[in-house]
Structure 1
Amino acid sequence: MLNNTEFTKRLENILEYYSLSASSFADQIDVGRSSISHILSGRNKPSLDFIMKIADSFPEVDLYWLLKGEGSFPKKEDTPPSINTSKTVEQQSSLNFSEADVPIPTQLDKVPPKPYKNPDEAKTIKKVVILYTDGTFEAFSHL
């Protein structure tokens, strides 16, 4: 059985280890911010999907430690903290563009500004209708 209080402490350890706020952590594992808030406050227990997203996004988190508190965090592999990202630095550095790929701005035709029209200036009251509780009404037209 998952001890919610102990799980919350382990989750707070993860947030502190990665120097993340609850909202940035929620964004990182792709869950709603309210989910993190509810788990940290003890209102809800974490779902299996939530736990698996943590394990997938943060390789230093030992799944057994996260669930039971046994084992160690970070994992004993002595790896520095890292967060899975969609592109590695090597992939990003291979995206070098030559100057020929960059469009050269040309002089744009100057478009004259549209004259401002205040929509309230043209508005006048055309008709006022008063409805009574007995189902009758009175209509007053502009004179």
Structure 2
Amino acid sequence: MINNAEFSKRLQKIIDYYGESASSFAEKIGVQRSSISHILSGRNKPSLEFVLKVLASFPEVELYWLMNGKGQFPKSDATIKTEQQNSKNINQDLFTESENKNNSNPIVSESEKNSIKKTSEGKTIERIVIFYTDGSFSNFENS
């Protein structure tokens, strides 16, 4: 069983180690800021989803240490390097074949390029709006 007060201390140690505020930490792991606040204050217990998000976002955190306080934080350098090497090998295997395929076949054929040119002739861009993940946006108008 998780000791809520001890878990809160370990979570605060992770936040301090990375030099994050509670809100930036919440954003990095993909939870609401109130979730961090409630767990740190002891009001709520962490869910399995919360713990998994912390582990996925911060590979230096060990599950056993986070849950029980036994083990070490951050993980030893050897463990981190081994995990990084394994992920590099996986990434190379996943993308090596697809990069070769992309280089051999053009994305847009010549006939498609011509049809795009024909349909856009005589048209001008009036406005472009870019939406960001934080809910803000930028508006660019042709003047």
Q: Which residue does the alignment assign to 2:115?
A: none
Q: Name the CA distance, whole Å, in 2 between partners of 1:46 and 1:77.
A: 27
Q: How does 1:12-51 map to 2 (within 5 A)?
A: 12-51=12-51
Q: Which residue does the alignment assign to 1:118?
A: none
TM-score using structure 2 length:
0.55
TM-score using structure 1 length:
0.55
CA RMSD of aligned residues (A): 2.0
Which entry has the higher C-alpha Rg, 1 or 2? 1
Q: Which residue does the alignment assign to 1:8?
A: 8
Q: Name the CA distance, whole Å, in 1 between partners of 2:64 and 2:142.
A: 64
1:76 CA drift (Å): 1.4
1:109 CA drift (Å): 8.7
**Which ranges of structure 1 fall in alignment gaps of 5 or more residues?**
81-107, 111-143
Q: Name the CA distance, whole Å, in 2 between partners of 1:109 and 1:63.
A: 52
Structure with the bigger percentage of helix: 2
Q: Name the CA distance, whole Å, in 2 between partners of 1:77 and 1:47.
A: 28
**Which ranges of structure 2 fall in alignment gaps of 5 or more residues?**
82-140
Q: Name the CA distance, whole Å, in 2 between partners of 1:9 and 1:64.
A: 15
Q: What is the number of residues matched between the two proteins?
A: 83
Q: Which residue does the alignment assign to 2:67?
A: 67
1:77 CA drift (Å): 2.4
